Structures are given as C-alpha cells and as structure tokens.
C-alpha cells in the first residue's frame, strides 16, 4: 500500500501554483484561439490575393498578437489562478511579440523573405527551449523540430516556406493538441 501511495504522490504536482490542471481549460482555449486566428489569417491571405512576403507575415503576427491579448483579457481572472496559467500566457505573448518585432525590423532593413522565415524559426526554437525549462520538458523536442526546419530553410532557400509551415505551425498544433489531451 505504501508503494502505491508513493507512486501516486510522484505523479501529483508538488506545488498547486504549477499544477496545469487548474488552468488547462483556459490555456487550451487560448492556444485554440491563436491557432484559429492564424488559420483565418491564412485563409484571408489566400482569398484576398496578398503577396506572400514579410509585410503579409507582419500583418499576420499583429493579428495573432491582438487575438492573444483579447483572449487573455477576457480569460485573465481564470488564467491568473496559478503560476502555470500566468507563465503560459506570458510565453505565448512574448513569443508572438518577439516575432512581430523581428518582422517589423526585417521590413525596415529590407531583409529577404527566406531570411525572415529562418530567423522566425530560430526564435520559435528559443521559445520552445525556454518553455521546456519552465513549463513542460517535452517541448524541447519542438525546439529541435524548429531548429531542424530553420536549418533546412537556410540550406535550401527554395524549401523555406514548407519548412516554416511544418516547423512553426506543426509545432504549435502539437502544443494545442497537448493542451486538450487531458480533458
């Protein structure tokens, strides 16, 4: 019986502030809203033939950041119930904000589209690596995926768009699905 209780205790969160189950629903809603905002922005780009380039990506980043801030504003009381919720919201906003700032600077410097996508993937790998340290260790695998996609895009510029789609959207889709996994 003691062995069973010890095994159960090992799987229980040690600190309620770090217990993801407290805010799992809200974090999942936030991630889903961001995924939907990205999908809607992608559909608008396809429907209104905007050229795929840094200005369009900058607009997409601004739209996603606005969506994140709106959802966080609406769900803040619930998200702020523990450290896990606050950290999850902060990581998401910081990552999107960093990418938006990078894209604005890239526009000002007239950086090539391929270079912007590769640098975005590197920023995302840093975010997933950071998340692995403070939230979930398994996100380190997503850091490796985005680094691999960045490497592929840097070595083969003609493959940068598919590498970006797989590396960024694929990794974020995995994170979103993981948020719903334990409901």
Res. 183 pLDDT band, cuts 50 70 90: very low
pLDDT on residue 76: 94
pLDDT on residue 14: 66
**What value does the mean pLDDT take over residues 116-143?**
89
Q: Looking at residue 181, what DSSP letter applies?
A: T
Res. 182 pLDDT band, cuts 50 70 90: low
Average per-residue pLDDT for the chain: 86
Which contacts of 155-163 are long-range, i.e. CB under 8 A and separated by 24 or more positions? Answer: 157/114, 160/113, 160/114, 160/117, 160/118, 161/52, 161/117, 163/117, 163/121
**In contact, 62 and 41? CB cutoff 8 Å:** no
Tens digit of each residue's pLDDT (9 = 90 or more) over 54-113: 998 899 899 999 999 999 999 999 999 898 889 889 988 998 999 999 999 999 999 999
- Whole-structure pTM value: 0.79
**What value does the mean pLDDT take over residues 159-163?**
91
pLDDT on residue 123: 93
**In contact, 28 and 180? CB cutoff 8 Å:** yes
Tens digit of each residue's pLDDT (9 = 90 or more) over 3-33: 877 777 677 656 777 777 788 888 888 888 8
């Amino acid at each position: 019986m003691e062995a069973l209780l010890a095994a159960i205790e090992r799987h229980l969160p040690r600190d309620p502030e770090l217990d993801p189950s407290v805010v799992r629903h809200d974090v999942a809603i936030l991630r889903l809203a961001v995924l939907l905002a990205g999908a809607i922005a992608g559909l608008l780009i396809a429907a209104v033939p905007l050229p795929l380039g840094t200005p369009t990506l900058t607009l997409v980043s601004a739209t996603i950041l606005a969506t994140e801030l709106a959802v966080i504003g609406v769900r803040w009381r619930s998200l702020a119930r523990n450290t896990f919720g606050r950290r999850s919201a902060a990581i998401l906003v910081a990552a999107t904000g960093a990418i938006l700032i990078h894209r604005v600077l890239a526009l000002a410097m007239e950086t090539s589209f391929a270079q912007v996508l590769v640098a975005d993937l590197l920023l995302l790998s840093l975010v997933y690596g950071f998340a692995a340290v403070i939230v979930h260790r398994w996100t380190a695998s997503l850091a490796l995926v985005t680094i691999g996609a960045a490497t592929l895009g840097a070595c083969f510029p003609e493959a940068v768009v598919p590498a970006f789609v797989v590396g960024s959207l694929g990794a974020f889709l995995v994170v979103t699905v993981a948020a719903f996994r334990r409901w």
